[in-house]
Structure 1
């Protein structure tokens, strides 16, 4: 920590994973005020409203389908002509009457307003990746589904990771490839990424660490 060195007999890593964002200024302005990266967390707040989902992979398809349970219309915006998602996930979206596709577009700017100190999203300006033309659409919410990045850079070269940087743990446990080091939550979970599953693996990691320390005769 800063200039101090701390030692431990067991370590639990729970640094999580961060959602990938577009990186445009207006995104920061309305993050948490209509701009989200978690449909399961915030989808309910957009009941009977119009929303955008940004992305073209399985996550985007899953989020778009999920949001149709609440939203009146879901507009799926993808920068390319073709989706990266699996065929079955793509077909579910294509067959959903509440989903509108806008391929070969990116979000150039997120529009909104502030009334009595309360900010909210009112729309977005989309830019064509083919000819640069722009179009403005009115929406109430925008969900980013362009992936997550596990916060594991500081462990590179020390702990085993998959090709996307998620820590690899032994099946049925939270043990990493280094003795006495355990991983919990989104840092090792690319599938569920929910608070309740993170809490569950946190409990598992605590028990695994306790058993490890007991086996070593440390506690």
Structure 2
């Protein structure tokens, strides 16, 4: 029987592990096939407080993991295939067939960015291809950028990137945008944004000197052309990693876990959520870490209250506890 199982090892999960380990709960942390989360795909992180010269994303995650281990957190590799959250204690079934029983669960499985699925894209993540303008926009100061997408997120990222780039080209495979009118109007009013609509991405093109641009197909003429750029930002949405929960935890219309305002508590007692899996707006390492702290404190209070309630409900247990204490 585990006291706490933390599912996920991004900034949120590792921060929760540090706090809960320091509090003496000896949490079990389950890390999937990408330990450290999306931050490990970022070459350099310059906006995480405390690192004036920046730090590699993989190094930051490695340091946080070692810090959690130092205080007693235990790590196990495994993918949670199924969950039974119908009653406490909860049951988590892993991909190797084993089952873990736990009094509480902290869900920090993040949200996976959607990619175009074209050649050259995955090979150049962190080398010119990005899914986070706030994270990586600074590196493209004075350069040309392409943003792929047609929703509000794409409009917002394109507008943000004009602070750094000399030109931001917005590429969308349809001739109409899905973004709200106010977001479209804001983007169209920006002189730095140019438009390539009705163009389907075909390939991210890179050479020895770096990214060269994005090859697209004009849907009207069928002609392929290379749109030159130093960076390609993919803004076609994120998918929260919540499928393994089987609908037992309340989510919004996009699949993000719903937490009680100002807390990390979900609709189930003893189940908490932190990081990008419950954050559809900010998706930053620092906000994820902050929510991981919240989840740890909420979980700690829950277990303390549950233990107190159990003792009050069992007079014999109270007598035994006092006797052992003496």
TM range (shorter): over 0.9
Cα distance in structure 2, aligned partners of 1:114 and 1:32: 15
The residue that corresponds to 1:92 in the other structure is 186
Structure with greater proportional helix content: 2
The residue that corresponds to 2:121 in the other structure is 27
What is the correspondence of 1:144-163 to structure 2 with a 5 Å cutoff?
A: 144-163=234-253
The residue that corresponds to 1:3 in the other structure is 97
Q: Which has the larger radius of gyration?
A: 2
Structure 2 residue 162 is matched with structure 1 residue 68? yes
The residue that corresponds to 2:265 in the other structure is 175
Tell me which of the two structures has the higher relative contact order, counting C-alpha pairs closer than 8 angstroms and 6 or more residues apart: 1
Cα distance in structure 1, aligned partners of 2:188 and 2:247: 42
TM-score scaled by length of structure 1? 0.94
The answer as to whether partners of 2:174 and 2:199 remain within 8 angstroms in 1 is: yes
SS at match of 1:217: helix
What is the correspondence of 1:49-198 to structure 2 with a 5 Å cutoff?
A: 49-115=143-209, 120-198=210-288
Is the deviation greater in 120-129 or in 40-49?
120-129
SS at match of 2:187: helix
Structure 2 counterpart of 1:45, from 113, 134, 139: 139
Alpha-carbon deviation of 1:172? 1.6
Alpha-carbon deviation of 1:129? 2.4
The residue that corresponds to 2:322 in the other structure is none
SS at match of 1:51: strand
Tell me how large the CA RMSD over aligned residues is: 1.4
Alpha-carbon deviation of 1:157? 2.5
Unpaired segments of 5 or more residues in structure 1?
Answer: none
TM-score scaled by length of structure 2? 0.64
What is the CA deviation profile of residues 107-151 of structure 1, one whole-angstrom value per residue up to 9, with x for unaligned ones? 111111125xxxx21122111223322222211010000000001
Alpha-carbon deviation of 1:156? 2.1
Unpaired segments of 5 or more residues in structure 2?
Answer: 1-93, 311-326
Structure 2 residue 302 is matched with structure 1 residue 212? yes
Cα distance in structure 1, aligned partners of 2:244 and 2:262: 25
Give the number of aligned pairs: 215
